[in-house]
A = this chain, B = another copy of it.
Amino acid sequence: MDPLVAKLNCFAPLSAEERTLLASAYERTIAGAAGSDIVTEGERPQHIHVLLEGWAYRYKMLPDGGRQIMAYLMPGDLCDVHIFILKAMDHSIGLLCDARIGLLTEQAMLDLLDNPRIGRALYLSTLVDDATSREWLANSLRRDPFERVAHLFCELWVRMNAIGLVEADSFDLPLTQAELGDTIGLNPVSVNRVLQRLRAEQMITLGRKRLTLLDPKRLIAISGFDPNYLHLDKSISTHR
């Protein structure tokens, strides 16, 4: 099933007709290479990009060369609905691995928004993105490095699970330790030390870009993770 359909269906059950409308809305689909940017800060994209396969990430470069990663995007996620208000993107979006992307024209997006149920689901998905940013704020500013990493892993696990990409508490995590650090406000060395501790305490294995949660319960407990803010109730219950 089209990942966008699957995702929106979680928020507002869609009719067969609406599903078809969504799945056939792409002007075309394209392939993107790991490491390349889908959209660059300062430009105004001509299409809305929907991630169909692979991971992407929102980020912002700072004057001093620092990078802040502000979101991870998984299959079904919209990259740049921002197109509607922006003269120029206020951040960039890059690919963490080879990916497939669906392109929506601005008009196609407007048409989708005109459909009450789809429009509402799109609105809700934006609210979830918003709630996620807020949770990241609390996570990065109020928890110590150990808890921070654990919390991020819990979130990614739940989100990957919701789209059916988790097997036996194990999933692909196409991130370097430096990228993890740029996400939660740690330097790569600190990230490394946290990971080792997580391994030593038998909570995870991580290697070859694959993460396994050996003890989800304990990870949830130590990080104070509450999936509440992801509002994925339905999809979670479907898959677990």
Contacts and interface: CB of A to CB of B under 8 A. Distances in A.
Interface of A: 11, 58, 60, 62-64, 66, 68, 70-71, 81-82, 84-88, 90-91, 113-114, 116, 119-120, 123-124, 126-131, 133-138, 140-143, 184-185, 224, 226, 228-229, 231, 233
A85 B136 contact: no
B62 A138 contact: yes
A137 B148 CA distance: 14
A61 to B, nearest CB: 10
Given A81-B127, A127-B81, A142 B90 contact: no
Nearest to A227: B90
A137 B140 contact: yes
Given A126-B130, A129-B130, A133-B130, A185 B141 contact: yes
Given A114-B116, A127-B126, A142-B62, A134 B85 contact: no
A62 B58 CA distance: 26
B126 A123 contact: yes
B138 A85 contact: no
B70 A137 contact: yes
29 contacts: A58-B134, A60-B138, A62-B138, A63-B224, A64-B142, A66-B142, A68-B137, A68-B138, A68-B141, A70-B134, A81-B127, A82-B131, A85-B127, A85-B231, A88-B228, A90-B134, A90-B135, A90-B226, A90-B228, A90-B229, A113-B120, A123-B126, A126-B126, A129-B130, A140-B140, A140-B141, A141-B141, A141-B184, A142-B185
A109 to B, nearest CB: 11
Nearest to A90: B229
A185 B229 CA distance: 21
Contacts of A66: 142
Given A85-B124, A141-B184, 15 more contacts: A58-B134, A62-B224, A64-B142, A66-B142, A70-B134, A82-B127, A82-B131, A85-B128, A90-B134, A90-B226, A114-B116, A130-B133, A136-B137, A140-B140, A140-B141
